[in-house]
Amino acid sequence: MTEDLEWRVLSESEKERERKGRRKSLLLCVSTFIHCHCFLPTLSTQQHTIKPLSPSHAIPTPHSKFPSDSDTQSLFFSGRAERQKLLNQKGCVVWITGLSGSGKSTLACSLSRELYSRGKLSYVLDGDNLRHGLNKDLGFKAEERTENIRRTGEVAKLFADAGLICVASLISPYRRDRDTCRSMLPDANFIEARHHEAILIVFMNMPLELCELRDPKGLYKLARAGKIKGFTGIDDPYEPPLNCEVHVPEASKAIEIKQDGDVCPTPTVMAGQVVTYLEKEGFLEH
């Protein structure tokens, strides 16, 4: 059953009466509309004592006594620090880039499992999967890939803000698009720490020949036969990250996963490489 209520700030004398116990009041800022009641958690910084008005006051008018926008803003509970503390980790994004078949999804899965086993919460955003939902309206033209990366970057940013380690695995072939994602994730999470960015780029540096040999979906074969146009690595470019050197500048974190001679590291070893990095950089503690 929905009761139509509006809430207003109490006067000082009403507050006094409340204190004497004549009526229980709420320590919440609530704006209530017909059939739509939205409750915020108890607020630690500022408290407004409020009580319901009669139903006849239900529809807010421009003259209603609501807290001002700035009051309301200041009442919102941001909680990023608290979430990170709760999870004992720092929200961040591990962005895995590389050719189709280079092992992005395999690493994402293995990494997520490894983090889980260490009690760390992660979530995988896989390009291939997102293209069935969030990004199903997008194809593979340059501007559509750009939009694909932008949207995924925005979602990843939200996960990072929620305190999770978001693992995004997309071909993301264009340097400019990856840089855009970098710029979306500045150091807001890490005011006190040495981090400059909350994003780590992982480059799956596997040779095209290997990816083509794997060809788990048969797409390279179709692309070679001209049945798929604009396939990355065949007739569409892949721009490798430039910042995967051993001495990575602080402001542009990136690591590279590659073959040792002809041997590809196992999924566990690849995940271990990333976890070691996250650990060293302090992401796995709050």
Ligand X SMILES: Nc1ncnc2c1ncn2[C@@H]1O[C@H](COP(=O)(O)OP(=O)(O)O)[C@@H](O)[C@H]1O
Ligand Y SMILES: Nc1ncnc2c1ncn2[C@@H]1O[C@H](COP(=O)(O)OS(=O)(=O)O)[C@@H](OP(=O)(O)O)[C@H]1O
Q: Does position 266 bind ligand X by CB under 6 A? A: yes
Give the pair of three-digit tokens for residue 173: 């072939």
Residues 6+ apart with CB under 8 A from 184: 153, 154, 157
Given 103, 163, 233, 241, the residue binding ligand X (CB under 6 A): 103
Please give the Cα distance from 210 to 101 (Å, whole number). 8
| C-alpha pair distances (Å), 120 with each of 9, 81, 88, 216, 275 | 42, 16, 8, 30, 11
Amino acid at 12: E
**Binding to ligand X in span 216-245, by CB under 6 A:** 216
Task: Give the contact letters, 101-120, x = binds to ligand Y (CB under 6 A), - = no.
Answer: x--xx---------------
Compute the distance between CA of residue 178 and CA of residue 241 in angstroms, rounded to an integer: 9
Min separation Cβ 251 and ligand X, Å: 27
**Nearer to ligand Y by C-beta: 103 or 163?**
103
Position among 184, 219, 252, 272 found at the interface with ligand Y (CB under 6 A) = 219
Of the residues 102, 110, 112, 172, only one is catalytic, namely 172
Contact (Cβ atoms closer than 8 angstroms) between residue 254 and residue 201: yes
The reply to whether 145 sits near ligand Y by the rule CB under 6 A is yes
Query: Which CB, 93 or 170, lies closer to ligand X?
Result: 170
Task: Check residue 127 for interaction with ligand Y (CB under 6 A).
Answer: yes
Cα dihedral sign, 242-245-251-254? positive
- Residue 266 interaction partner, one of ligand Y, ligand X, none, beta carbon < 5-8 Å per kind: ligand X
Known catalytic residues? 172
